[in-house]
Amino acid sequence: MPKISFTKNFATVDVPSGANLMQSLLQAGIPVASSCYGDGVCGKCRLEIVKGAENLSRPEVIEDIIRDRLKLAPGLRISCQTQ
């Protein structure tokens, strides 16, 4: 089972392959900022991917629109739009 590790609080979460990143974190009790509750509108749930980005889904149109609108740096992903 894949693992997500955090450099900020050193937590590690096991997640099933293909699981939504934001939902997996919330289910593990790790807070994720969001004002649209994962509808892919606000972009507040962005996370920096330090290592292992090749294991994530490719950005889809909604994520690309959010990333362009917010001018996000490479390595940041919108967690509600990422598996």
Give the pLDDT of residue 74: 87
Confidence of residue 33 (pLDDT cuts 50, 70, 90): very high
Q: How far apart are CA 66 and CA 54, in angstroms?
A: 20
Cα 58 from Cα 21, distance rounded (Å): 13
Question: What integer pLDDT is reported at residue 6 of this predicted model?
Answer: 74
Q: Is the entire prediction scored with pTM above 0.85? A: yes
Residue 81 has pLDDT above 80, yes or no: yes
Query: Is 79 in contact with 25 (CB distance < 8 Å)?
Result: yes
Q: What is the pLDDT of residue 13?
A: 84
Strand partners, 14: 3
pLDDT category, 34, cuts 50, 70, 90? very high
Q: Is the pLDDT of residue 3 over 90?
A: no
Per-residue tokens: 79: 């967690």
Beta bridge partners of 47: 77
